[in-house]
Chain A
Amino acid sequence: MTLSMHPYVFLGSVSLLLGLAAGFVMHRSDFCIAGMFRDIFLFRRFTMIRSFVLLVVATMALFEAARLFGLLSVYPFPLLYAPTAANVIGGFLFGIGMVLAGGCVVGTLYKMGSGSALSMTAFIGLIIGSGLYAEVHPAWAAFIKQTTFFPGKVTIAQILGVNPFITVLAVVSPAAALLFSWYRRDAFTRPSFASGYLQPFRAALALALIGAASSVLVGMPLGVTSSFTKAAGWAESALMKAHYAGLTVYSAVPLNFIHRLTGPAALTGGPGPAFDALAAIQVPLIIGIVAGSAFSAALLGELRFSYRVPGRQYALAAGGGILMGLASRLAPTCNVWHLLGGLPLLAASSMLFLIGILGGAWLGGLLLLRLLGTGSGGIDGGLCSTRKDAA
């Protein structure tokens, strides 16, 4: 089946709608992935990360169902590669960056949509950091080549030489039992006085459906960070022409696949500032997430520009954003692509990224406590006794 409209119009419209839905849902539930990882270590709070586990497992089941029904154009998805040491290192730096910035790449977008000046600062940092990667790209590409394990193999199933259904089933069955036990003891529910609050586990299910819809209709899961590199490349090409010409990363075209819904012509794209398939997919998605969140906030009367905060928090948001942007290229690709695209396929690179991001979230939390200057807030005296009371 193919469509008669221009592929970019179709891909862009679908991405915009999916972005609007994702932004709305994330704002309602304050679905902050950076916070979920951070709070495991900082506050020993596990309620939110359970919803994240649900999101990954539900996505895993949906992706596998889509594969079995022949709905996926490419499997594994494009832009997922063989595992390398770069996945762990990139994930680690990304984890630090997202905690300092107060949100991951999509967290930054939905918080920006509801009016956070800090997230707008982190957003600019993300673009700068993505551009910085261009400076180290040749050396890093060589490092990736040297440290690649299992060249040509992306998923655990490919490494083991088995049908992906087996590996997915081996993970989803015990995970489903665990999720059900959490559900039974009400371990997903989050107390909140926020109006229009959406419980994070409901948001997780909605986001899993949105991700699966993207994988079928767009041919790929949700992704945003290549566009940040494009924005940096565009700025560099305009402001520093001679320097830009020497940067090899912008001439790469890593995306090249034929999507069953958009016809025989391959969809191609890369980090360079050209308007290609990546831009046609990601830019509407980014706009959608920001606008969906703004729409949700406006409906609740909570859309307000807040900027009067201590200066050091702006420095943290900018620094965290730059680190996160750089790390999203080192990793290569960000937490959304790895954790909501690769991990549900059991891509080995994404599993390494997960190990890295956990370490980064732990160290980022420690750094954050020192750098915020708010003290620990009596975490030991306050929240740990909280936990005893709750138990």
Chain B
Amino acid sequence: METVEIDIRGQLCPATLLVALKEINARASLLRRGAVKLCFLIDNRDATGTIPESASNMGYAVNVAKQQEGWYRIEVAARL
């Protein structure tokens, strides 16, 4: 499975969420087939709630992990 990393740290609110939704929608069929996994790098605390909520409501599996350097990594992939 290919992992696509998208760095949206420091972006204007709500660009973080908008970019994430755009990327998810643009790769919807690849994501659903399990051919690709998206990995968003964010440092917007609000988006640690909104991106997982939106993605999981769209039917994807979401995993959030805080990184030592103080930002968050949100993985969005097909549900197993």
Contact = CB atoms under 8 A, between A and B. Distances in A.
B69 A304 contact: yes
Given A378-B21, A382-B21, A386-B58, A193 B14 contact: no
Given A103-B13, A386-B57, A377 B22 contact: yes
A163 interface: no
Contacts of A1: none
A194 B45 contact: yes
Interface residues of B, number: 34
Given A301-B68, A302-B70, A307 B52 contact: no
A390 interface: yes
Nearest to B69: A304
A116 B70 CA distance: 13
Nearest to A45: B50
Interface in A298-315: 300-304, 306-310, 313
Contacts of A11: none
Contact of B48 (A194, A306, A368, A385): A194
Given A117-B10, A307-B10, A30 B68 contact: no
A110 B73 CA distance: 23
A264 B54 CA distance: 57
Contacts of B24: 378, 382
B49 interface: yes
Contacts of B44: 30
Contacts of B57: 385-386, 389-390
Contacts of B72: 193-194
A309 B12 contact: yes
A372 interface: yes
Given A193-B52, A306-B43, A378 B25 contact: yes
Interface string B60-72: 0000101011111
B53 A374 contact: no
Given A375-B22, A379-B21, A389-B57, A192 B12 contact: no
A97 B2 CA distance: 40
Interface in A177-206: 190-195, 197
Interface string B36-58: 00000001111011001110011
Contacts of B30: none
13 contacts: A27-B45, A191-B53, A192-B45, A194-B49, A197-B45, A302-B43, A313-B12, A375-B18, A377-B22, A378-B21, A381-B25, A382-B25, A386-B53
